[in-house]
Structure 1
């Protein structure tokens, strides 16, 4: 048992959670996994350590790691105007760009001045494909208004899927490859994340391994497998073990032992408060300082909720994934109860 003082199965029943998977990190290594329940309510498909859940916005943590890897390679730059690298689409100049230009640092820390249009970034409509350029122009059903600055960069913090769509465009143009292929080659393969995917259609879902999504009553959501067609922001499907491997890679990079070739300097940049905002790093959120520094990434989408939490300076952490949309913030449901048990 890696979780003490909490009856997991009873709490899952209380919160109508059909399936749950978690991996614990201690001393910079996997310390154990626990897996409970079913991938699909009413079926006999049990959750195992190889079960794949929708990570939703934890995708942004992976995108942060991929971005700093590409900074190391010289493909991206953290502090130059992103328009200098964008060709197929660029941020429109307006009154908010007069004094400051958008940088990758702004995008990864949600301080770019880009805001998500109301009602945007829903799950995939299987009959409607997507071009990232069309989305940024406001010409898709997923975002019916052009993405443009709403305030001056660094002036305000606004959580933004749109900002990570711009990061995706930067990566795809810089590498001349689709985002999912870059992630596969530079992250998944080197770290052995064999159960991590960015499915583009339902046809790519392996129904033996992928979990279905469920609502707060524990019933299946429409379509069973909600896919978000903007991988850098929210498209990752993965296991708790694979996500834990990514957390451990960040911990190793902080010690100068990165498998991906990420420098200690850039790894530290990722978990440093950005532009005076103490709670946001690059692709992760922050709390505490020095040895007690805690980083988190939360995923919440149709049918799924999950959490990554780590204390990188003391090399501890956990990944908790559920296949139910609980209807409350992670810290107010079963994920929060597990977090409190692990971190107390």
Structure 2
């Protein structure tokens, strides 16, 4: 795994990107990390391998790894009606749930029938504070002011949904009687020694040395450190190196060598086409086929864009994170140029 024919600093200047960090995976190991630019425009706080970025929706990949481990342990069943285990809130029953129920498999693959209301799931407003997840799902918060319901028959269509992952978060919290981040720390972050990964509710001045500010159009966004108060869906702050370690753990799982206890069969289930869309796995998106299958996860929020991509059977991959929102899809900007310059494998 290596980069070819790209001057990242020059392309950052072209796109007006403040900072970029990358980790490359080859032969199932991190073989390169690099940082470019600064954490905050107008300063000399340079990006390095310990610089922490807002992962936004790549959080869903991390959440999916947790769900698969808990399923492996028998805590969950991917195909069970989630209402059987939810206790503090229930998915409302209606005409769409008569034949097919909302399950973890359908939530992880965005085919549960749950959709996001317009204007919902914005970044944290510090004057309003973190929403209680039950209140959010019942439409009693400004982050989602419409009750979450099943809007089409589960399994019949794909609708990308943050609300679906909020249901997963609540299911985990109801099952363990503790906050989502504690379960994640215990089962994923601590076993893999992911010291730079967290779901912060605030980023205090004492912690800001390694945290990136968000940028757009060359300027810092209004809130320097935008936080999404939906940890399972989009709340993760991390480094490319930590995410690369998790990708490597997934590759190890496929070989039957997991450090967190994820079997090869459970790992393969994550990258099997799910339901009505062949390009949807469990918490990841799919391209290619068989042993050249590509998995990916994208993050895009206020002031940040990032991408995780891997060929798990070939044991190569990359995590690219930036502290700049360029207003276009990742593959149409600097992340796309870096991705296109990667040599994942020799054909």
With normalisation by structure 2, the TM-score equals 0.97
1:331, 1:11 → 2: CA distance?
A: 14
Contact 1:165–1:233 (8 Å) recurs in 2: yes
Runs of 5+ consecutive residues of structure 2 not aligned to the other structure: none
Deviation for aligned residue 1:201: 2.2
Deviation for aligned residue 1:3: 2.0
Contact 1:120–1:142 (8 Å) recurs in 2: yes
Aligned to 2:110: 110
2:313, 2:27 → 1: CA distance?
A: 10
For 1:109-148, list aligned pairs within 5 A: 109-129=109-129, 130-148=131-149
Contact 2:156–2:276 (8 Å) recurs in 1: no
Please give the root-mean-square deviation of Cα atoms over the aligned residues, in Å: 1.2
2:191, 2:145 → 1: CA distance?
A: 37
2:151, 2:276 → 1: CA distance?
A: 20
Contact 2:2–2:343 (8 Å) recurs in 1: no
Aligned to 1:161: 162
Aligned to 2:292: 292
Contact 2:194–2:242 (8 Å) recurs in 1: yes
SS of aligned partner of 1:318: strand
Aligned to 2:307: 307
SS of aligned partner of 1:291: helix
Contact 1:199–1:205 (8 Å) recurs in 2: no
Contact 1:39–1:212 (8 Å) recurs in 2: yes
Contact 1:2–1:34 (8 Å) recurs in 2: no
Aligned to 1:181: 182
SS of aligned partner of 2:190: helix
Deviations 1:156-199 (A, max 9, x none): 10000000000001111111110111111111111111000100
SS of aligned partner of 1:206: helix
1:343, 1:204 → 2: CA distance?
A: 39
1:46, 1:142 → 2: CA distance?
A: 34
Say whether residues 1:253 and 2:253 are aligned partners: yes
Aligned to 1:198: 199
SS of aligned partner of 2:298: strand
Aligned to 1:37: 37
1:49, 1:238 → 2: CA distance?
A: 11
For 1:1-344, list aligned pairs within 5 A: 2-129=2-129, 130-203=131-204, 206-215=207-216, 217-343=217-343
1:203, 1:114 → 2: CA distance?
A: 35
Deviation for aligned residue 1:343: 4.0
Deviation for aligned residue 1:2: 4.0
Question: Does 2-11 or 47-56 show the bigger shift?
Answer: 2-11
1:315, 1:189 → 2: CA distance?
A: 23
Question: Does 270-279 or 114-123 show the bigger shift?
Answer: 270-279
Cα 1:117–1:276 shift into 2, 3 Å? closer
1:271, 1:205 → 2: CA distance?
A: 40
Deviation for aligned residue 1:204: 8.1
1:212, 1:180 → 2: CA distance?
A: 22
Contact 1:75–1:175 (8 Å) recurs in 2: no
Deviation for aligned residue 1:292: 1.2
Contact 1:20–1:321 (8 Å) recurs in 2: yes
